[in-house]
A and B are shown apart, each in its own frame.
Chain A
Amino acid sequence: MRFVVWLIVLGLAVAHQDVWNWEDKTLVFGFVPVTLAYHAGISASAAVTWFLATKFAWPRDPFAEPEADMKPPVPRAMGRPKADEFEGAPG
């Protein structure tokens, strides 16, 4: 999925060079020149793409402990004691 996200980013950059709209004066909805409407669409698509990137391609901290990332969640009853459960903690 990470690869797909970066492919979409590349696709957006290519789609940005819309030579086919260059001399088209059509008004979308009767008031937005097509070249402007198309690029507003590119902006909206960029937001969706970056949303996908934050979901599927979020950069992992390379210095994070790999074991910590892979460790399954510890059941609450067996989890670490709370601070005040340590021996000698103020009551």
Chain B
Amino acid sequence: MTQLIIIGCYLGLLLGLGLFASTLSRKTSGDYLLASHSIGPFLLLMSIFGTTMTAFALVGSTGESFKEGVGVYGMLASSSGIIHSLCFFVLGIPLWRLGRRNGYRTQIEFFRDRLESDKIGVLLFPILVALVIPYLLIGVMAAGGVINGVTSGIVKPGDDGLTVIKPTFEPGTFPEFLENGDDGTYATGSKGGVPRQVASLVICGVVLIYVFFGGMRGTAWANAFQTIVFMVLGIVTFCVLAFKIGNSGLPPDAEPLSFFDSLKRASEAIPFEKATRSEISQSAFLTYMFVPLSVGMFPHLFQHWLTAKSAESFKLPIVCHPVFIMIVWVPCVLVGAWATSDLVKVPPPVQANPNLLLPFLVKSQVGPVLTGFLTAGILAAIMSSLDSQFLCIGTMFTQDMALHYGGKERFSDGATTWIARGFIILVVALTYGFSLFEPRAVFTLGVWCFSGFAALTPLAFAAVYWRGLTKAGAYASVLAVAVSWAILFYQSDFAADRDFRVVIPYRGVAYETMPVLTMFVCSAVSLIAVSLFTKRPADETLAKFFPAK
């Protein structure tokens, strides 16, 4: 119960921050959606970093390291340090300049203008929303799983069948189907903790409230606060777990090891295949480099870019982002690898669902007070992404659908804000509904979602740097992504096959590649081929985006 009280206090604090930020609001839709372009370097760094680091970074990386070993860091973290900053540099800055000059609020407004295509939004909007939903799902699922994991008891066989020892809630507190799960074996039940369905709902509610009241300004403040929380508590978690795991299994009368010796003992116990990349295909590792390109097309990141006060504000995020990734990922990956050693006894349900590894370790290795704080840190990482995504999809619907096709004169500024809020609730309800079904691994789902966005990135690059991009080329590229993504996702049994790869045979050798490569190539080739044979936008349009030679 102690950890639940701490989590509750943290959520209350967050609501207070959102409400405080709302008192700073200028009460205009421009302030609600883009914080009146007033965000400076520090807040931009923290909000962009908080937004890109989600459950995927903490819960997902720990779980994936447990499954695949420490090579996970190279697959996504170090490559992101290079590629994310590259995207901020070559896309973020020019798009911010174009956005400020031409008054864009969303990606679709930019593409519509750049391509002289009124209907590009009709094609792009559902695809972007469909790709954001799995991203939201990652956060909603992980939040429920983490809260349930740290508040649940231990299931043991008793005289009357299975019983739960040390539950937070007595049996009968929640409906039976939530407590006992689908089959009555507790496998999917709450095990005496907060049911994951209830926990997910509470987290969605808290994020919705502070996004509704604070808008982008509240979101940026909350993101900065939460980023600090999860970075600090992440390091604390790492130190505590290192000490506990490094000292586990010692004789009862032995002197406890020092912190440094604990680190050494824990790492020496990592099996060979988890301490190296012996089980990771080199070609798959290489093609993972395409996945972080997704930040170039994340609609919520585009919106964050537009909040910047000046182009100079980008310098700090560009430089610090790789180091911040390192600070968060290295401890998580090490902890996941330590859990593969004989020093940690991971129960079968956790082995089967790597999303549960971090909450399991936190709960089993530290006391309830620290567990509460550390859980708050994990939730901070999750919520700092959910809020931007919620706000972004609301903005997109309002600007790109309701106002554009419904007519700007039909809605007042206040009504615009309420349309955004209404659509946010609709999408959150949809996402929450999906989260109630069979959970997928956070990492796998994340990679599919990021792959879709990454495959759309050639469109963003071409729109900024290539005069030859045409409307037809853009449509061909988006459709190529949609079709290739759908086919490959279907072939992977809707992400159930965690190790799905596209195998490319070459000179008798079969090279395993990530699906993102196929999608990216389909997108880029379609874009270039069709653009070369179709009509370019008018010179007056191009003059808005490219200076006269």
- What is A's interface to B at a CB cutoff of 8 Å? 9, 12-13, 16-19, 21-25, 27, 30-33, 35-36, 38-40, 42-44, 46-47, 49-51, 53-54, 59, 61-63
Contacts and interface: CB of A to CB of B under 8 A. Distances in A.
Nearest to A17: B286
Given A31-B264, A31-B267, A46 B85 contact: yes
Interface residues of B, number: 49
Given A31-B264, A33-B337, 18 more contacts: A16-B289, A17-B286, A21-B276, A30-B260, A31-B263, A32-B330, A33-B70, A35-B73, A35-B277, A36-B334, A43-B77, A43-B81, A46-B78, A47-B323, A50-B319, A54-B319, A59-B93, A59-B94
B34 to A, nearest CB: 20
Interface in B71-122: 71, 73-74, 77-79, 81-82, 85-86, 89-90, 93-94, 97, 101
B127 interface: no
Given A12-B82, A30-B263, A43 B89 contact: no
B319 A51 contact: yes
Given A22-B277, A46-B85, A54-B319, A36 B264 contact: no
Interface string B252-279: 0000000010011011101010011110
B322 interface: yes
B276 A35 contact: yes
Contact of B323 (A27, A43, A54, A59): A43
Contacts of A49: 82
Interface of B: 70-71, 73-74, 77-79, 81-82, 85-86, 89-90, 93-94, 97, 101, 260, 263-264, 266-268, 270, 272, 275-278, 282, 285-286, 289, 311, 315, 318-323, 325-326, 330, 333-334, 337, 546-547
Contacts of B89: 50, 53, 59
In the A-B complex, the 10 residue pairs with the smallest Cβ-Cβ separation, listed nearest first, are A46-B322, A43-B326, A39-B78, A31-B263, A46-B81, A31-B267, A42-B78, A43-B81, A39-B74, A33-B275
Contacts of B97: 61, 63
| B82, B282, B333, B546: most-surrounded residue (chain A CB, <10 A) | B82
Nearest to B263: A31
Nearest to A13: B82
A36 B70 CA distance: 6
